[in-house]
Structure 1
Amino acid sequence: MDYEFSFDDDGKPNAILSMGHEVLGRWLTEELGQHAQKMADLFTLIDSLEREQLIEKNILGRELNLHLQKESVEVTALEREDDEEFPDETNLYESESFAECGLLDFKQLLVDWQEFIQ
């Protein structure tokens, strides 16, 4: 999983991740942002998962859901009531609405994001 961080014209941090992991970048940018307490809480959760004190944790965001487990992390876009209905045979590009990675990779992503925004 490759990623790149930058600041937009307004000075807000932006995370861009490689194909298949784009929604993780969106989660970092839109849901986590520069919130130090949220980041600290995530590191505490990851530590609890690593020490097997916690089996899983689901964090519901405004537009994205983060699901942490002992060995993996998933980010899923929340369905909205106003989403257009498509026929069952329609194949949609899903990498912008779902991504998963290992817990250790996610932890390293958070460490790098934290260093970038400080």
Structure 2
Amino acid sequence: MDYEFSFDDDGKPNAVLSMGHEVLGRWLTEELGQNSSKMVDLLAVIDLLDGEQLIEKNILGRDLNLRLERETVEVTALEREEDEEFPEETNLYESESIAECGLLDFKQLLLDWQEFVA
């Protein structure tokens, strides 16, 4: 999983992740941002999961849900009601609405993000 951090024209941090992990970048940028207390809390949850003191943790955001388990992390875009209906056979592009990675990979991503926005 490759990633790159930058600042936009307004000085807000932005995370771009490799194909298949794009929504993780969206989660960092839109849901976590520069909120250092959320980062500290999240790192504590990861330590509890890694130490097998916790089985699972769901964090519901405005547009994205983060599910952490002992070995994996999944970010899923929340369902939105759409006015447009698609034929039953239609396959929509989902890699920007769901992504998964290992817990320790996510921890490293979070630590790198924390350092970048500090």
In the other structure, the counterpart of 2:8 is 8
Q: Residue 88 of structure 1 aligns with which residue?
A: 88
TM-score (norm 2): 0.97
Aligned-pair CA distance for 1:86 = 1.8
- 1:81 to partner: Cα distance: 2.1
- Counterpart residue type for residue 49 of structure 1: L
User: Could you tell me which residue of structure 1 aligns to residue 47 of structure 2?
Assistant: 47
Q: What does 1:1-118 correspond to in 2, within 5 Å?
A: 1-82=1-82, 84-118=84-118
**Residues in 1 aligned to 2:52 and 2:84: alpha-carbon distance in whole angstroms:** 41
* CA positional deviation for 1:6: 0.1
Alpha-carbon offset, residue 77 of structure 1: 0.2
5+ residue gaps, structure 1: none
Q: Give the superposition deviation at 1:83.
A: 5.7
Q: 1:90 to 1:63 in 2, by over 3 A?
A: same
For residue 58 of structure 2, what is the amino acid of its counterpart? N
- TM-superposed CA distance for 1:74, in Å, is 0.2
**TM-score in terms of structure 1 length:** 0.97
In structure 2, distance between residues paired with 1:88 and 1:66: 28
Which SS does the other structure have where 1:74 is aligned?
Answer: strand
Q: Which runs of 4+ in 1 moved over 6 A?
A: none
**Paired residue total:** 118
- Specify the SS of the correspondent of 2:65: strand
